[in-house]
Chain A
Amino acid sequence: MPPWLLDVTGLQKSFLSPEGESTLIVDVPRFQLAEGEQVAVRGASGSGKTTFLNLIAGILQADKGTIVLAGQTMTALSEGDRDRVRAKTIGYVFQNFNLLQGYTAIENVMLGMLFGSGVDRTRAQQLLERVGLSHRINYRPSQLSIGQQQRVAVARALANRPKLVLADEPTGNLDQRHAGEALELIREACRENGAALLLVSHDPAVLALFDRSEDLADLNQAAAAHAAAPVHTENRTAL
């Protein structure tokens, strides 16, 4: 058995609907990811994939089950400790990149370091060079193309030398050509930095590029029931 970087067991998360009903969104009996491994998870819209990633990142607290990440049981940690683990161990690439508009590209990357390994301008610059933005380091997100913003987000995710990069529909906002380039960049950058990659996408073309891909419908037992009866609570977490 490889040394699991991420080991998820019996993970459950419910949300209350506006009517006060509890709806199970995530119910993953088991999910494992080895160090440096790259896994793609296919998830249709509303299948709970963002919630799944947020649970792993410690942004959300699980109702049941355990998440062991790099030897730390995330589900047993306080919120503050989960924040600390997330800052040091996880890089997150969001579908809409979530760059801070008032900050330049390099500042956005350094911001990623602020709560983790400590601000290192040289490394931030190197990361931006790596993603091909050495000539745009002082540009604000609004001055960058969508593809360039995506690359800043990738550089930021790798800023703290994370062991795990979570990517939520990272190519969702890109056209096919740029999506392919971006995906390749994420994968390469993760490999170079020794980070495992857990990517969720609804795009079969993306999944085809990975050696290991999973279907969230298989992983998440709540997804099937969820798909059969859509719940209003999805608005809350962009499932």
Chain B
Amino acid sequence: MNLMSLVRRSLRQHALSSFVTIVSVGLAAGLTMSVFAINAQTYDAFTGGKVGFDAVLGARGSQLQLVLNTVFHLETSPGNIPWSLYKEISEDSRVTLAIPYAVGDNYQGYRIVGTTQEMFTKFTYREGQGFVLEPGGRVFDESKKEAILGNYVAEKLGLTVGSAFTPYHGLQFSEREQHEDEYTVVAIMEPTNGPSDRVLWIPIEGIYRMSGHVLRGAGKPMRARPGEVIAEENLEVSAVMLKLRNPQAGFLLNGQINQQGKVATLAWPIARVMAELFDRIGWVSRILTMVAYLIVVVAAGSILASIYNTMNERRREFAILRALGARRSTVFSAIVLEASTITTIGALLGFLVYGGILAAAFVIVRAQTGVVLDAFRFDHALWMTPVGMILLGALAGLVPAFKAYRTDVASNLTPLS
């Protein structure tokens, strides 16, 4: 039997209020850790520069819209640029890789991106790591109606190699907008844990020849007939994904395209563009953080209230302990220890809550953006929150502890009437 035994006994004697307090602390800790961890991970995922491209060339307009549309497959396309611009930039010595994108179709709400084989043969989305196809798959033939599916979309739609699908027009799924062309899945990508997992990749030629598509590159509408060679002047691309030789190249191209030019927009560097987005929506994050802090304070208050409310009934208990030789500091410590124990158990429970929230956020964020959150990734909030809560709990325990400290022994030892 020791001081901890007294604490354990007290928690058992006031089981309901202890339980409710522990749960509230657990929720507060879990929520706080989640807010910080999800914030940090989404920020890193969207601004960490791990998307594989250095810049995006697209129609004149918002850099942010361009990046969201092409890198994260969100938002609408700001418009098209001529094929000639793609050719020009791909031959620029400052550019090491230029891959055209054509967007505007979907299948069951998942985006279809028309591109070239280079996306699977030359592009690396992180250092030395290109897209890997699952065994049995191969890169599409650019002249055929073939598709490579991102891992997530294949899993969600239940499509495998050999499956066929018919695209729908537009970025939003509408049953009335179905094209006539049928595409065959020739490969499923290994997971990248990024936005590419949510994409159906087809040859860019397929976008041009999709039934109902009108090409306006030459200024007048043109519909490609089967087998007809499409003159380059008719072609347009939604964007060109660029890898640059060095940061200097980005600086020069930025000046040339964004400041001197009037035709196109270069989103560079992508991380800065996304950071601007986070700066713009930073208030949401700040509000969430404040709410989390508020919940922590409320939890601390509930610790204070739950222990303080037991003080009247426990005055006699403290008096007896004092009469048995316990010092004032001992009963004081017992209460602080009790508050700390509640927060410690609550903080441990908080990790379960954190795991639950992250699991839910994992599903939502992956479904919406393809970004995969990692519950086990270290974040300072994962130790600072529990430690902070334990300290705060101990602090909340000071008020009832002081009341216990001041318990008058003699008057509280009298027989109960």
Point out residues on A near B: beta carbons under 8 Å.
50-51, 54, 57, 59-60, 79-80, 83-84, 86-88, 92, 94-96, 98-100, 102-103, 107, 110-116, 119, 156, 160, 236-238
Contact assessment for B330 and A119 in the assembled complex, using a CB-CB cutoff below 8 Å: no
- Distance in angstroms between the alpha carbons of A54 and B9 in the assembled complex: 28
Task: List 11 contacting pairs A-B, 8 Å CB cutoff, sorted by A.
Answer: A57-B323, A79-B327, A80-B329, A83-B322, A83-B327, A83-B328, A86-B325, A95-B415, A98-B323, A102-B12, A115-B324
Q: How far is the CB of B409 from chain A (nearest CB, A)?
A: 5
Q: How many residues of B contact A (CB 8 A)?
A: 27
Contact partners of A87 in chain B: CB under 8 A: 324-326
A88 touches B325 (CB 8 A): yes
Closest B residue by C-beta to A94 = B413
The reply to whether A107 and B1 form a contact with Cβ atoms under 8 Å apart is yes
- Which chain A residues border B326 with CB–CB below 8 Å? 83, 87, 114-115
Check B2 for interface membership: any CB of A closer than 8 A: yes
A111 engages B325 (CB within 8 Å) = no
- Is A80's CB under 8 angstroms from B324's CB? no
B259 on the A face (CB < 8 A):
no
Q: Which of B12, B317, B329 has the most CB of A within 10 A?
A: B317
In the complex with contacts A59-B409, A59-B410, A237-B411, A96-B416 CB distance below 8 A: yes
Q: Which residue of B lies closest to A115 (CB)?
A: B325
**Quick one: which of B396-417 are within 8 Å of A by CB?**
409-411, 413-416
Q: What is the minimal beta-carbon distance from B16 to any residue of chain A, in angstroms?
A: 15
CB-contacts of B314-334 with A (<8 A): 316-317, 319-330
A47 to B323, CA, bound (A): 21
- The B contact surface, by secondary structure, is helix
Main secondary structure of the interface of A (DSSP, over half): helix
Residues of A within 8 A of B411 (CB): 236-238
A119–B413 touching, CB < 8 Å: no
Closest to B326 in A: A115
B248 at the interface (CB under 8 A from A): no
Q: If the complex has contacts A88-B325, A95-B415, A115-B325, are A100 and B410 also in contact, measured as CB distance less than 8 A?
A: no
- Chain B, residue nearest A58 (CB): B325
10 closest pairs, A vs B, by CB? A87-B325, A115-B325, A238-B414, A96-B415, A83-B327, A110-B1, A119-B1, A98-B320, A102-B13, A115-B326
Complex interface bits, B1-14 against A, C-beta within 8 A gives 1, otherwise 0: 11000000110110
A119–B2 CA distance with the chains assembled, in angstroms: 8
Contact A111 B321, beta carbon cutoff 8 Å: yes
- CB-contact partner of B413 in A88, A98, A99, A114, under 8 A: A98
B325 CB → nearest A CB, Å: 2
In the complex where A80-B327, A236-B410, A238-B415 touch, is A59 in contact with B322 (Cβ < 8 A)? yes
